[in-house]
Amino acid sequence: MEIFMNKLRAILATSLLSFSTIAFSNSVMMEMSQMNKQLKSLEQAQTSKDFETIATDFLLVAQKAKETMPASLQDDQERFKGYQAGIQDIIDQVKKAKELAEQDKFVDAKELKELVEQLHDLKKKYHLEYK
């Protein structure tokens, strides 16, 4: 009976560890999905106020994603540092755009479009490296 209980504990521990890893990697995927949706919303913002609100939400999710290692990095701490730097680049870009929106300094839709295109470029760059 004791051998059976030890095997059962080992199986449960392994299952729990596997589930935790899957849930952890799904967390990053969920945050990336949310960031992508909010990026699309930033593109469609009609007013500076809309942009500010969406950017605030984006920054919260991006910060959470920055703190979570994607499964694709396989616990490689050096690559994780690069991933975090990439997310920080995106965070910095959104903060700059948000500051402009807060000051109502979007001259026109063209300027807003350029800022969002820069975010898309950063997204492509870092997806190639860390996805």
Binding residues: 32, 127
Return binding residues for heme b: 32, 127
Tell whether the torsion through CA atoms of 65, 126, 72 and 78 is positive or negative.
negative
Q: How far apart are alpha carbons 35 and 41 in whole angstroms?
A: 10
